[in-house]
Chains A and B, each alone.
Chain A
Amino acid sequence: MTFTAPALEYGALAPMLVIFGAAVIAVIVEAFVSAKLRAPVQLSIALGAIVLSFAQVWRLRGTSTATAAVNSVVVDGPVLFMQGTILILAFFAFLLIADMDAFAAQASAIPGSVEERKALQVGKIQTEVYPLTLFAVGGMMLFPAANDLITLFVALEVLSLPLYLMAGLSRRRRLLSQEAALKYFLLGAYSSAFFLFGAAFLYGYAGDVSLSGIHAAIASGPGNDAFLLIGMISLSVGLLFKVGAAPFHAWTPDVYQGAPTPVTAFMAAATKVAAFGAALRIFYVALSGAQWSWKPVITAVAILTMIVGSVIAIAQRDVKRMLAYSSIAHAGFLLTGVLALNQEGLKASLFYLASYGFTTLGAFALVTLVRDSSGEVTDLNRWVGLAKRSPSVALIFSIFLLSFAGIPLTAGFIGKFTIFTAAYDSGNIGVVVAGVLSSAIAAFFYIRVIVMMFFTDPEEDTVTVTIPSLYTNLTIWIAAIVTIALGVFPTPILDAIASLATFVR
Chain B
Amino acid sequence: MTSSNLVYLIALPLFSSALLMLLGRKADKWGHIFATLISTSTFAIGAMEFLAMRDRPEESRAVTQKLFTWISVGSFNVDAGLLLDQLSIAFVLLITGVGTLIHVYSIAYMSHDRDRRRFFAYLNFFIASMLLLVLGDSYLNLYVGWEGVGLASYLLIGFWNQKPEYATAAKKAFVANRVGDFGLSIAIMIAFANFGVVSFHGIEEKVGGASETALTAMGLMLLLAATGKSAQFPLQAWLGDAMAGPTPVSALIHAATMVTAGVYLITRSNFVFDNAPNAQLAVVIIGTITLLFGAIIGTAKDDIKKALAASTMSQIGYMILATGFGPAGYAFAIMHLLTHGFFKAGMFLGAGSVMHGMNDEVNMRRYGGLAKFMPITAITFGLGYLAIIGVPPFAGFYSKDKIIETAFNAGGVQGVIFGSAALLGAVITAFYMTRVMLMTFAGNKRWADDAHPHESPFLMWAPMVVLAIGSVASGYLLYSGKAIVKWLAPVVDKHHHEHEEFLQPIVVTSLAIAAVVIGVGIALAKYRGELAASAPQDVSIFTRVARRDLLQDDANEFLFMRPGQKLTQVLVATDEKVIDGVVRGVGASAVGSARGMRKLQTGYVRNYALLILIGALVALVAVLVVSL
- B48 at interface by CB-CB < 8 Å: no
- Hey, what's the 0/1 contact readout for B560-604 against A, CB within 8 Å counting as 1? 000000000000000000000000000100110111011011010
Q: Using Cβ atoms and an 8 Å threshold, which residues of chain B touch A253?
A: 601
- B559 at interface by CB-CB < 8 Å: no
- A395 at interface by CB-CB < 8 Å: no
- B627 at interface by CB-CB < 8 Å: yes
Nearest CB to that of B612 among chain A residues? Answer: A248
Given the interface pairs A237-B616, A248-B615, the reply to whether A314 lies near B603 with Cβ below 8 Å is: no
- A241 at interface by CB-CB < 8 Å: yes
Contact B628 A247 (CB under 8 A): no
Nearest CB to that of A254 among chain B residues? Answer: B603
Contact B591 A314 (CB under 8 A): yes
Contact A247 B622 (CB under 8 A): no
Q: In the assembled complex, how far is the CB of residue A487 from the closest CB belonging to chain B, in whole angstroms?
A: 27
Complex interface residues of chain B between 232 and 272 (CB less than 8 A to chain A):
none
Indicate the size class of the contact surface on chain B.
20 to 34
Q: Using Cβ atoms and an 8 Å threshold, which residues of chain B touch A293?
A: 623, 626-627
- B605 at interface by CB-CB < 8 Å: yes
Contact A315 B591 (CB under 8 A): yes
- B609 at interface by CB-CB < 8 Å: yes
Contact A311 B616 (CB under 8 A): no
- A66 at interface by CB-CB < 8 Å: no
Nearest CB to that of B615 among chain A residues? Answer: A247
Nearest CB to that of B609 among chain A residues? Answer: A190
Contact B608 A251 (CB under 8 A): yes
- A102 at interface by CB-CB < 8 Å: no
- A9 at interface by CB-CB < 8 Å: no
Given the interface pairs A186-B609, A187-B608, A248-B615, the reply to whether A229 lies near B624 with Cβ below 8 Å is: yes
Q: In the assembled complex, how far is the CB of residue B385 from the closest CB belonging to chain A, in whole angstroms?
A: 74
- A135 at interface by CB-CB < 8 Å: no
Contact B623 A194 (CB under 8 A): no
Contact A233 B620 (CB under 8 A): yes
Contact A294 B623 (CB under 8 A): yes
Docked CA distance A237–B612 (Å): 8
Main SS class of interface, B? helix
Nearest CB to that of A445 among chain B residues? Answer: B594
- B614 at interface by CB-CB < 8 Å: yes
- B619 at interface by CB-CB < 8 Å: yes
Q: In the assembled complex, how far is the CB of residue B627 from the closest CB belonging to chain A, in whole angstroms?
A: 5
Given the interface pairs A236-B619, A248-B615, A296-B622, the reply to whether A315 lies near B595 with Cβ below 8 Å is: yes
- A411 at interface by CB-CB < 8 Å: no
Contact A311 B612 (CB under 8 A): no
- B510 at interface by CB-CB < 8 Å: no
- B551 at interface by CB-CB < 8 Å: no
Q: In the assembled complex, how far is the CB of residue B89 from the closest CB belonging to chain A, in whole angstroms?
A: 66
Contact B597 A311 (CB under 8 A): yes
Docked CA distance A159–B566 (Å): 70
Q: Using Cβ atoms and an 8 Å threshold, which residues of chain B touch A297?
A: 619, 622-623
Complex interface residues of chain A between 283 and 332 (CB less than 8 A to chain B):
292-294, 296-297, 300-301, 308, 311-316
Q: In the assembled complex, how far is the CB of residue B612 from the closest CB belonging to chain A, in whole angstroms?
A: 5
Contact B600 A250 (CB under 8 A): yes
- B611 at interface by CB-CB < 8 Å: yes
Contact A183 B623 (CB under 8 A): no
Q: In the assembled complex, how far is the CB of residue B539 from the closest CB belonging to chain A, in whole angstroms?
A: 68
Complex interface residues of chain A between 176 and 196 (CB less than 8 A to chain B):
182-183, 186-187, 190-191, 194
Docked CA distance A292–B591 (Å): 36
Among the listed A229, A246, A250, which residue makes an inter-chain contact with B623, where contact means beta carbons less than 8 Å apart? A229
Contact A229 B620 (CB under 8 A): yes
Contact B608 A308 (CB under 8 A): no
Given the interface pairs A187-B609, A250-B600, the reply to whether A229 lies near B590 with Cβ below 8 Å is: no
- Hey, what's the 0/1 contact readout for A223-248 against B, CB within 8 Å counting as 1? 00110011011101100010000111
Q: In the assembled complex, how far is the CB of residue B625 from the closest CB belonging to chain A, in whole angstroms?
A: 10
Docked CA distance A293–B623 (Å): 6
- B607 at interface by CB-CB < 8 Å: yes
Docked CA distance A182–B591 (Å): 30
Q: Using Cβ atoms and an 8 Å threshold, which residues of chain B touch A251?
A: 608
- A282 at interface by CB-CB < 8 Å: no
Among the listed A225, A232, A294, A311, which residue makes an inter-chain contact with B590, where contact means beta carbons less than 8 Å apart? A311
Q: In the assembled complex, how far is the CB of residue B145 from the closest CB belonging to chain A, in whole angstroms?
A: 51
Docked CA distance A111–B620 (Å): 43
Which 9 interchain pairs have the tightest Cβ spacing? A315-B594, A250-B608, A314-B594, A247-B615, A237-B616, A233-B620, A293-B627, A315-B598, A247-B611
Can you name 17 A-B pairs with beta carbons within 8 Å?
A186-B605, A187-B608, A187-B612, A226-B624, A229-B620, A229-B624, A229-B627, A233-B619, A234-B616, A247-B611, A247-B614, A250-B611, A251-B608, A311-B594, A312-B597, A315-B594, A316-B598
A residues within 8 Å of B by Cβ?
Answer: 182-183, 186-187, 190-191, 194, 225-226, 229-230, 232-234, 236-237, 241, 246-248, 250-251, 253-254, 292-294, 296-297, 300-301, 308, 311-316, 441, 444
B residues within 8 Å of A by Cβ?
Answer: 587, 590-591, 593-595, 597-598, 600-601, 603, 605, 607-609, 611-612, 614-616, 619-620, 622-624, 626-628
18 A-B pairs besides A229-B627, A311-B590 with CB distance below 8 A are A187-B605, A191-B612, A226-B624, A229-B623, A229-B628, A233-B616, A247-B614, A247-B615, A250-B608, A254-B603, A293-B623, A293-B626, A294-B623, A296-B623, A300-B622, A311-B593, A312-B594, A313-B594
